[in-house]
Structure 1
Amino acid sequence: MPAQQSLPAAYYRGGTSRAIFFNRDDLPKARAEWDSIFLGAIGSPDPYGRQLDGLGGGISSLSKICVVGKSEIPGADVDYTFAAIGVRDASVDYSSNCGNMSAAVGPYAVDAKLVHPLLHGGGDGRTKNLATVRINNTNTGKLIHATFPVVDGEAAASGDFCIDGVSGTAAPLRLDFINPAGSRTGKLLPTGSAVDVIDGVRVTLIDAANPCCFVSAADLGVSGTLTPAEIDADEQLLARLDRIRRLGAVKMGLAKTVEGVPGSVPKIAFVSAPHPGESAHVVVRAMSVGQPHKAIPVTVALAIAAASEVPGSTVAEHVIRPAGDGGSGESGLEIGHASGNLRVAAQFDEQGVLGCP
């Protein structure tokens, strides 16, 4: 039998996702050797869809790997590489970032002693302060600033902050995506248009944090409030969403053919207006690696916020705000998703450049 091997690793939740974390220095120098390690750790491929022989959870949001190491990039403390792992197949996809898991990178970096961040107060004195870790996401070449409480040199875990889609409470964490437009294409609107017609429907193709395709639920002939189970059971809807996503990817320049489009980008979601009395400003149902997301990926939420500020987009036309409520850069955009609501913000400067509020 071959010699058994082991590697140090950590297991973190970020937002509504979970991932195995590796210190880059503990992995082989040759990136080609990473894939087999990641697949073995997560338990893929598993034809039964359970990932029972690893730490995956049988769905895309629980089948993820993060690699973190010290950075030499100016303005960054750590480099962070994300990998989406197939559940039933052996795919290891590095083509996009995960916004949810970005939330765990800063705390991991502090806990693993990769950084000694500057504490800038805001806590309860000696034992608790706010720290900011500057993260270079290697998948997109974009910077993210994570700000969170630190207690006695470790990232705080307990707290009273809650998010829809996750039971219980934990310490709060803020993510600022610095200049997120053009993560893969170099442009906020890769085709130069707020709307393109794809497969007979109007679609907004936008690249903010991750490339995304947004289509109206009404144009698809479905309710905007379908549950993930209802979406998963509608094979025709799933097939059409994937067809639109693949055709959109070619239009965005992400692939030359529909067959060459990676599984994780672009993301696709359908949008609708909230019903009267709802607190949400817009309702979204998002897909993640071919599966309906039980909440909403953070990068999709960021792209929704950006698209809500683009006149004529399929998102902007469905946004309903109370009288006197400012744009998403002022008070934020309340997004209704399958598990509740999420508030995000996007701000454009006087030249129309997307940045952080």
Structure 2
Amino acid sequence: MIGHLCHVAGKSDPTLVLDRRALPTDERELISTLLVARDWLADRHGAGVTTIAMIEPSADPVFDLDYQFAQYLPGSPSGFELRGSCGHSILSSVAVAQRLAWLPRHGAASRLHVNVLNTGDRVSCEVSGAGGSLTFGVEFGYHPPRRLGDLLPTGFAQDDLDGMPVSLVSAGNLHVFVDAAGLGLHDQEALFAADASMRRRLTGLRRAAARRLGLPDDSVFPRVAAVGQYEYRRLAVLSLPAPARPGPLPPADAITVAAAAVIDGTIAHQLAQRAWSRLDELVVDTPGGTTVARTAVSGTGLDDTLTRVGVRRGTVRYEGSIFVEPLRDLMLAPGRVPAPCMN
């Protein structure tokens, strides 16, 4: 089977992009197959791949591409998480699909539409650039618009976990938000320098949230985010699990922070109000940089709706194709390979 490796600026490891149509449809068999591919790549190409994108041209005329995300879970036994989403791997997917001529040739203002099978999100990518490097603007859209109350998995803007007030919000990715000041982190330097004991405490909250929602507590979802308000019109966020190399918030995480900030009563909303933040253009600092999320909502009440969230531009570099030898028998049947799109 032929795979493709792409690297997004700000992300430490490449994404492996595979043709979804050649992969098993059964979840257990799929995870087993992805583990074989990941371990083989790790043995031959350094640190290994932690994210895999599985793509195919969409049969739905509304979309250009169907995309499924898999996040590697180290441990014993290791595995893959098929919940959630990753904006970086979406960008990699579009870059590969462009290179394979599955998509219309892009112009100065081309917009490509991706169907995120894991979450039901509709992602629009504005593409520019040529050759081995492409730059994207990313917008997560909701059609029809999402009711803000439906983004709260428990139905409440705040819940209590282990004696700590938290907000559980599910937009791009499921998150549990906690006020950094309630953890004794009273300035941005202290938040970003959180020691091992503080990270264990945050991880404990994440696992408690997973149990509350009936999810495996060793999953990467929900993510946990400690949110601080230390500067005018800015929020500071420390999110776990953290990437190997710090960077700005990944797009799928950024839209969850932005969505949480507009829902009345959540911890993120209370802190954004304290900062006098613009909720339609939220500025978020992280240990690895700053993200600006632009949000379109009808209001902040539970019955108001979210239409879209646009996040920072990302640059993708195509690293090349690779024959994944242990998956050599996974080939498309004749007639299933799409004809190149000549639009």
User: What TM-score does the superposition give when structure 2 sets the normalisation length?
Assistant: 0.76
Structure 1 counterpart of 2:228, which letter?
S
What's the counterpart of residue 268 of structure 2?
Answer: 315
Cα drift, residue 33 of structure 1? 3.8
Cα drift, residue 286 of structure 1? 0.5
Cα drift, residue 243 of structure 1? 2.2
What's the counterpart of residue 149 of structure 1?
Answer: 128
Aligned 8 A contact 1:224 1:271 in 2: no
Count of residue pairs brought into register by the alignment? 302
Q: In the superposition, relative to structure 1, how do residues 316 and 180 fare at CA in structure 2: closer, same or farther (>3 Å)?
A: farther
Aligned 8 A contact 1:42 1:54 in 2: no
Aligned 8 A contact 1:228 1:293 in 2: no
What's the counterpart of residue 355 of structure 1?
Answer: 307
The superposition leaves residues 187-221 of structure 1 with CA deviations (integer Å, 9 ceiling, x where unpaired) of 21122222112111111111111111110112122
What's the counterpart of residue 133 of structure 1?
Answer: 112
Structure 2: how far apart are the matches of 1:216 and 1:321?
Answer: 12
Aligned 8 A contact 1:246 1:261 in 2: yes
Aligned 8 A contact 2:24 2:30 in 1: yes
The superposition leaves residues 77-118 of structure 1 with CA deviations (integer Å, 9 ceiling, x where unpaired) of 21111111124442111121112222222222111222226x
| Structure 2 counterpart of 1:193, from 150, 153, 156 | 156
The superposition leaves residues 246-275 of structure 1 with CA deviations (integer Å, 9 ceiling, x where unpaired) of 222343x343xxxx3351211111010134
Structure 2 counterpart of 1:264, which letter?
V
Structure 2 residue 73 is matched with structure 1 residue 86: yes
**Where does 1:106-121 land on structure 2 (aligned, <5 Å)?**
106-116=94-104, 119=106
Structure 2 residue 70 is matched with structure 1 residue 72: no
Structure 2 residue 47 is matched with structure 1 residue 57: yes
Structure 2 counterpart of 1:172, which letter?
T
Aligned 8 A contact 2:66 2:114 in 1: yes
Structure 2: how far apart are the matches of 1:272 and 1:354?
Answer: 24
What's the counterpart of residue 332 of structure 2?
Answer: none
Structure 2 residue 259 is matched with structure 1 residue 265: no
Structure 2: how far apart are the matches of 1:180 and 1:272?
Answer: 32
Report the 3-state secondary structure (helix = DSSP H, G, I; strand = E; otherwise coil) of the residue aligned with 1:140. Answer: coil
Cα drift, residue 339 of structure 1? 1.2
What's the counterpart of residue 3 of structure 2?
Answer: 9
User: What TM-score does the superposition give when structure 1 sets the normalisation length?
Assistant: 0.73
Question: Percent identity over the alignment?
Answer: 22
Structure 1: how far apart are the matches of 2:110 and 2:145?
Answer: 28
Q: In the superposition, relative to structure 1, how do residues 54 and 320 fare at CA in structure 2: closer, same or farther (>3 Å)?
A: farther
Structure 1: how far apart are the matches of 2:118 and 2:258?
Answer: 21
Structure 1: how far apart are the matches of 2:180 and 2:248?
Answer: 17
Report the 3-state secondary structure (helix = DSSP H, G, I; strand = E; otherwise coil) of the residue aligned with 2:135. Answer: coil
Aligned 8 A contact 2:227 2:235 in 1: yes
Q: In the superposition, relative to structure 1, how do residues 338 and 290 fare at CA in structure 2: closer, same or farther (>3 Å)?
A: closer
Structure 2: how far apart are the matches of 1:88 and 1:100?
Answer: 23
What's the counterpart of residue 43 of structure 1?
Answer: 39
Structure 1 counterpart of 2:63, which letter?
A
Aligned 8 A contact 2:145 2:307 in 1: no
Structure 2: how far apart are the matches of 1:75 and 1:39?
Answer: 32
| Structure 1 counterpart of 2:86, from 89, 98, 110 | 98
Q: In the superposition, relative to structure 1, how do residues 285 and 65 fare at CA in structure 2: closer, same or farther (>3 Å)?
A: same
Extract unaligned runs of 5+ from structure 2: 310-343
Cα drift, residue 20 of structure 1? 0.6
Q: In the superposition, relative to structure 1, how do residues 180 and 297 fare at CA in structure 2: closer, same or farther (>3 Å)?
A: farther
Higher-strand-fraction structure: 2
What's the counterpart of residue 279 of structure 2?
Answer: 328
Structure 2: how far apart are the matches of 1:79 and 1:262?
Answer: 28
What's the counterpart of residue 252 of structure 2?
Answer: 299
Aligned 8 A contact 1:179 1:355 in 2: yes
Cα drift, residue 320 of structure 1? 6.6
The range that moved more, 266-275 or 84-93, is 84-93
The superposition leaves residues 35-54 of structure 1 with CA deviations (integer Å, 9 ceiling, x where unpaired) of 3443243338xxxxxx8514
Report the 3-state secondary structure (helix = DSSP H, G, I; strand = E; otherwise coil) of the residue aligned with 1:102. Answer: helix
Structure 2: how far apart are the matches of 1:182 and 1:292?
Answer: 34
What's the counterpart of residue 337 of structure 1?
Answer: 286
Structure 1: how far apart are the matches of 2:192 and 2:37?
Answer: 28
Cα drift, residue 289 of structure 1? 7.0
| Structure 1 counterpart of 2:208, from 227, 247, 250 | 247
Cα drift, residue 230 of structure 1? 4.5
Report the 3-state secondary structure (helix = DSSP H, G, I; strand = E; otherwise coil) of the residue aligned with 1:273. Answer: strand
Q: In the superposition, relative to structure 1, how do residues 245 and 182 fare at CA in structure 2: closer, same or farther (>3 Å)?
A: farther
Cα drift, residue 237 of structure 1? 2.2
What's the counterpart of residue 18 of structure 2?
Answer: 22
